[in-house]
Amino acid sequence: MIFVFGHQKGGTGKSTVTVNMAVELQRQGCDVLMVDADPTIHTTSNFTADREEAGFPPLQSVQKSGSLHKFLEEFRPKFDHILVDVPGKDSKEMRTALTAADVLISPTRATQADLDAVAGLLQTVEGAQDFNENLKSMLVLNFVSSNVFTKDREEAQSYLTDFPQVRLAQTVLHQRKAFADCLAEGKGVVEMHDSKAKAEIQLLTQEALSW
């Protein structure tokens, strides 16, 4: 499968989700390719280098910007899964990747700025579906507070029900130190000691695969 991780704005945590799903899929025995499609911020490529330097099982990663459709179709039969990290904005990389993708996964903070950007994101998805009618899209609430007294999660979920054309993931990713530390350490949270972060990534991965 080809998964594209993108949003109309930056800072939503898409690169962190990309590398963690890649590590989990690798742990399951899948042959995985990560595509760093952000021409200015190479978070996934840097993670791959840090991971190799730290002595963890290497992940295959390439940098590719510009038009991605032909590139992804060429590599589709060579890997079990391809995970594409595109820029956090409306970009050529995102638009062309979506014409080849099976699923768009869009991590979204429970903030008004992120939620306001969803409408524009879905316009991009609808444009891609003119060329790729099987494209599915999933919003994932990310950086959610674990404080039971905050209402951000419930308010965001209520807001997102206004967009029936996109699926809201049942799995919620909470604000955890492991997610902040994993990029610098070259590890996925499934290789760390935070059992809750590990469970969230495993559940999200299973949800994405089974859809």
Give the count of domains, the chain.
1
> Token pair for residue 82?
């391809």
Partners of residue 141 on adjacent β-strands: 108
- 110: domain CATH number is 3.40.50.300
| Residue span of the structural domain in which 27 resides | 2-210
> What is the C-alpha end-to-end distance of the chain, expressed in Å?
11
The answer to whether 178 and 201 are in contact (CB under 8 A) is no
In this structure, what DSSP letter does residue 111 have? Answer: S
pLDDT tens for the chain, 211 residues long, are 999 999 988 889 999 999 999 999 999 999 999 999 998 889 999 999 999 999 999 999 999 999 999 999 999 999 999 999 999 888 999 999 999 999 999 999 888 888 889 889 999 999 999 999 999 999 999 999 887 667 778 888 888 888 878 899 999 999 999 999 999 999 999 999 999 999 999 999 999 999 7
In this structure, what DSSP letter does residue 130 have? Answer: T
The span from the CA of 148 to the CA of 152, in Å, is: 10
SS3 60: strand
Smallest Cα–Cα separation from 118: which of 19, 1, 4, 6?
Answer: 6
Annotate 133-196 with DSSP letters as a single string. Answer: TT-EEEEEEESB---TT--HHHHHHHHHTT-TTSEEPS---B--HHHHHHHHHT--GGGSS-HH
Partners of residue 168 on adjacent β-strands: 139
